[in-house]
Chain A
Amino acid sequence: MNKIAIQTNDLVKTIPQAGRELHILRGISLTIDSGESVAITGLSGSGKSTLLGLLAGLDLPSSGSVKLFGQPLDGLDEDQRAALRLGRVGFVFQSFHLLENLTALENVMLPLELGTQTGDRTALATQALQQVGLAERMGHFPNQLSGGEQQRVALARAFVTRPQILFADEPTGNLDRTTGHEITELLFALQEQFHTTLVLVTHDETLAARCQTHYRLVEGALA
């Protein structure tokens, strides 16, 4: 396995706004090792989510470079970047983003269906749901689950492919303190179990403190 999971060099993201360039990110250089847990914190609008998106290859920087699994992302088109993520990257979002018309089990099976993964998808997804303690609620639709339960499903969906990197965007942002705590425990337990690299964007300093590395973004630059 590659020792370095993600590496960036002088990452800049600007967007045109009202006729001039707005700098979202300014010269971010960082290296994330495999299996490492990293927290990115900062105020609203500091560019945390943009950085997460660039690290995951969801978007391309205005200048600078990103290497994901040792592969430079510049020069890859959207589909090639998607192929690079497929089965190796998982996501957890603040507002869960479960598909409303799919049951918990079907939501967890989704990433398995995208890849060429063989084997019993239902069994794998069931197992993932058991791990997050939702074995009893597999047939429920998202609107029949509480916020905490929905985020558990999202965790199961993220880990079901045993990803090398998990990107989490404010995973506890929509949850009360107790539930948030439960989800945090579960997240780190799973990360440890599967030796997953964790890149976490959060406001929550306690959550950030659980990570091995902590980056602070201030007005688009690392503090």
Chain B
Amino acid sequence: MNLLFKHWQQRWRMPELRLLLLALIVSVTVVTAVGFFTSRVENAMQAQARQLLGGDLVLTSARPLDAAYVQRAKTVGLETAETVSFPSMASAGDKLQLAQLKAVSSGYPLRGDLKTAPAPDAPEVASNGQLPAKGEIWAEARLFAELAVQPGASVTLGRSTFTLTRVLTQEPDRSSNLFQLAPVVLMNLDDLKATELLSPASRARFNQLFAGKAAVIKTFQQALEPQLKPTERIRTLEDDLSSVQQTLQRSGRFLGLAALLSVVLAGAAVVLTSASLMRRELPAVAVLKAMGMSRRQVLFDHAFSLLLTALLAAVIGVLLGLVLQFALAEWLSRFVGKDLPAPSLMPIVTGVLTAVVLLLGFALPQLLRLVNTSPMQILQGALQRPQQSLWWVVGCLLLAVFGLLWLQSRDLPLAGMLLLGLLAGTGLFWLLASGALRLVQAFGKRIGAGWIPALGRSRRAVLLVVVFATGLFALLLLTTVRTDLLDRWAETLPADAPDHFLINIQPAEAEPLTRFFDAHAVKLNLYPMIRGRLVEVNDKPVKPDDYENQRAQNLLEREFNLSSFAEFPASNALLEGKWFAKGEKGLSIEQGIGEMLRFGIGDKLTFDIAGQRFSDTVTSVREVRWDSMQPNFFVIAAPGSVTDMPQTLITSIHLGDKKPLITEMIHQFPSVTAIDVGVILTQVRSLVTQAGLAVQGIFVFTLIAGVVVLIAALQSQKAERRREIAILKSLGAGRALLRQRIWGEFLLLGALAGVLAGLLALTAGNLLAYYLFDLDINLNLWPLLVSSVIGSVLVGIAGYWNLRGLLTVLPLSLLKS
């Protein structure tokens, strides 16, 4: 063992082993950092989702819930809490305001925390389980403004009068209803009865919250489901993700992608370095075998060295990964919360496995070649590499790459597709590189530069171009993904994106309200908003039970927002059919709802709108960008077809620094409700920036991996170069000429690699944009130019730096060594 360790130490003197370690460290670091980080974010997202519900499981109904549910939950050890919410008017003095009353029992919220402030502008603090005392209420700052009151004021709700004591700044379950009509007023459930506000006719929502161990919750849910009444529904974590969470998931995908590219690049470096390591070890093994070393000893000696290197890389990589994920978490801390849950230990396993798989698949086949070295070769002058079946080497490589892809994606079909993509990519790179070099060769002949045609024939040049191009491609793809895609995505949220939604606008107020905003140079696009329930498809009644999908069931239980207008919404895309021509009837539906509820063009839909039936046929299907901050509708009827239905109007406006207009507007149009989405928008936009930074952190590692590959490729060809330079020097080539030739060769190869990488990154970036991120194709030719310049400069410098040492030595000593 000591001896094996000693031999490892002696091999450590070779740059190849150090490069191998570096390549492995890069892969392990990037894999564990991303693994740790995404595991923490996933855990946080789960926790956040629970907070959004206010519990682990929420039973919701339009009718009071049976006390038996609570009894049963208590017997299995679950915590419970109850909330009742409904809209009601709040008054103070002569002022009136519609408020969303929320009466909560002790224990609320079971997950997450309430935050309050003593006054509208004071900093918020966590309530730590405290709730409004009897006779007191807490309310959102908006209510203070609307009623023009300060903390301590008396506010009347129904038959009771309360003291308004604190400003409610956050309830965990608020974001589940972004379009809250009115400011929330939180009161103690014990006070509810005395207000006499709750009657069987009230549009109240009764929620029963449950929290406990995941397994108990699951069993409880399973027992509960068959007994639910038609009006009762279970809300779980699977409910829609918020836009923030969607953005976080996108960041996760970016990070995974970046990690994968780094690992693949590092893999290329491992192949190249282990091949040169093998070449260097070949004479040593032949000599040692002549001295009497057995094949087993050769195998043990080298396997130990490789495994020790992998282990060292794993330890260093895991530690660096841990540090790096803290940095990542710090970058995104505003969005994922300072108290991110601890990561699982799985990324350590993944990191170690990555190192081992890289070595087994990429380096082991080379090692086995060493074992078969014939000692006889040492007497025969030139050492031949031991022959080995190409299929075996390629098989090992493919298996290892597949293993790595699977380790990263945890998705077998996806790993298969990625592998095929990678193979196709490498093949394409090889073909394009050979083709490009052939062109260069022809060009070289024409201009009479003697060394250029030689370049076109050499496989070494093709290898360099492919390696550099792959490295550059990865770097470039990430850069375009990071800047271009994120910009394009952010562009869809322009700086003048709407920051307020105005809802509850009565049809009679449409004209004066438009005039009001016109006077302040704010353009208003009013859309009718009609609440209707889908009751029939093609004259057949539809029921929630007809669908297994929970979202489909929810959609049928709730009322849809329908609208009707003539102009095609700018943030939508027409997928099928035709938008309404003048005088035409019909319905335009959102793609997702059609797929979920299984209807499409030509199907007749019937809605129940406040007791009236309304039917029409689907004539077009739209794709809707829900994050566009524009009013979006599942179903749009042809203009004029629903004018006689009860409706309100909705609009979204960009106010920017004209925000005080809202208060003025409320005074003139008291029933209109304004929702400030500016805050949400700022949050989403800055999250995109932060996510970009996080990807950049990982991008640094891809850059390092790319440089390692570059050096590995140069190192693997150094012996050949050394001979070549020695021969040229002995033939009389001066240092100036050699220098010129080296620069020329590497600048040319780098530029070629750059153009190839640019072309492929452009293609891949657009494919990603289109399929993964739902963005449009964009042929930005900048990457081509930038990458050819970066390629030639980077490769030129790296090539010259690697070979410069050879220029100063004497030709004789070059030949000797």
Contacts and interface: CB of A to CB of B under 8 A. Distances in A.
Contact of A49 (B6, B296, B380): B380
B292 A85 contact: yes
A101 B16 CA distance: 11
Given A49-B379, A58-B379, A86 B291 contact: yes
B796 interface: no
B811 interface: no
A102 interface: yes
Interface string A45-81: 0000110110010110000000000000000001100
A159 interface: no
Contact of A91 (B291, B293, B380): B291
Contacts of A90: 291
30 contacts: A49-B379, A49-B380, A52-B379, A58-B289, A58-B290, A58-B375, A58-B376, A59-B374, A79-B294, A79-B295, A79-B296, A82-B293, A82-B294, A82-B295, A84-B292, A86-B291, A86-B292, A89-B292, A91-B290, A91-B378, A93-B378, A97-B283, A97-B286, A101-B13, A106-B10, A111-B291, A113-B3, A114-B293, A115-B292, A169-B379
Given A99-B284, A113-B6, 18 more contacts: A53-B375, A58-B374, A78-B295, A79-B295, A82-B289, A82-B293, A85-B292, A86-B291, A86-B292, A88-B292, A91-B290, A93-B379, A97-B287, A99-B10, A101-B13, A102-B10, A111-B292, A114-B291
A53 B379 contact: yes
Interface string A137-148: 000000100010
B817 to A, nearest CB: 6
A85 B379 contact: no
B287 A91 contact: yes
A204 interface: no
B253 interface: no
Nearest to B3: A113
A83 B292 CA distance: 6
List the 9 closest A-B pairs by CB distance, nearest first.
A86-B292, A85-B292, A101-B13, A59-B376, A49-B379, A79-B294, A58-B375, A58-B376, A53-B376
Contacts of A100: 14, 280
A87 interface: yes
B284 to A, nearest CB: 5
A110 interface: yes
Interface string B1-30: 001001000110110000000000000000
A89 B291 contact: yes
B566 interface: no
Nearest to A84: B292
Residue with the greatest number of chain A CB neighbours at <10 A, chosen from B6, B11, B283, B291: B291
B816 interface: yes
Interface string A104-119: 0010001101110000
Contacts of B11: 101
Interface residues of A, number: 34
Contacts of B682: none
Contacts, number: 81
Interface residues of B, number: 29
Contact of A110 (B291, B374, B817): B291
Contacts of B295: 78-79, 82
Contacts of B379: 49-50, 52-53, 58, 93, 169
B14 A85 contact: no
A147 B816 contact: yes
Contacts of A114: 288, 291-293, 297
Nearest to A88: B292
Contacts of A87: 292
Nearest to B379: A49
A200 B6 CA distance: 33
Contacts of A59: 374, 376
Nearest to A98: B287
Contacts of A58: 289-290, 374-376, 378-379
A211 to B, nearest CB: 19
Interface string B283-327: 110111111111111000000000000000000000000000000
Main secondary structure of the interface of B (DSSP, over half): helix
Contacts of B817: 143
Among B10, B284, B292, B293, max chain A CB count under 10 A is at: B292
B8 to A, nearest CB: 11
A115 B288 CA distance: 11
Given A52-B379, A58-B374, A79-B296, A110 B280 contact: no
Interface in B178-229: none
A155 to B, nearest CB: 14
Nearest to A174: B816
Nearest to B7: A113
Interface string A30-53: 000000000000000000011011
Interface in B723-738: none
A74 B290 CA distance: 17
B11 to A, nearest CB: 6
Contacts of B280: 100-101
Contacts of A115: 292
A97 B375 CA distance: 12
Contacts of B3: 113
A84 B297 CA distance: 15
Contacts of A169: 379
A147 B291 CA distance: 22
Nearest to B294: A79
A63 B255 CA distance: 64
A20 B289 CA distance: 30
A106 B288 CA distance: 13
Contacts of A147: 816
Interface string B464-504: 00000000000000000000000000000000000000000
A64 B378 CA distance: 23
A87 B284 CA distance: 17
Given A49-B380, A147-B816, A101 B293 contact: no
Contacts of A110: 288, 291
B292 A101 contact: no
Nearest to B16: A101
Contacts of B374: 58-59
A35 B3 CA distance: 33
B301 to A, nearest CB: 10
Contacts of A53: 375-376, 379
A58 B816 CA distance: 26
A59 B379 CA distance: 11
A120 to B, nearest CB: 14
Contacts of A97: 283, 286-287, 378
A79 B289 CA distance: 9
A101 B14 contact: yes
Interface string B797-809: 0000000000000
A99 B183 CA distance: 81
A143 B805 CA distance: 15
A85 B816 contact: no
A28 to B, nearest CB: 16
Most buried by A among B14, B295, B376, B379: B379
B376 A83 contact: no
Contacts of A56: 290
B294 A83 contact: yes
A97 B286 CA distance: 9
A209 to B, nearest CB: 23
A52 B280 CA distance: 24
A88 B291 CA distance: 9
Interface centre among A49, A86, A113, A143 (most CB of B within 10 A): A113
Contacts of B816: 147
A168 B295 CA distance: 23
A6 B462 CA distance: 51
Contacts of A89: 290-292
Interface string B259-294: 000000000000000000000100110111111111
Nearest to B13: A101
Contacts of A78: 289, 295
A53 B817 CA distance: 24
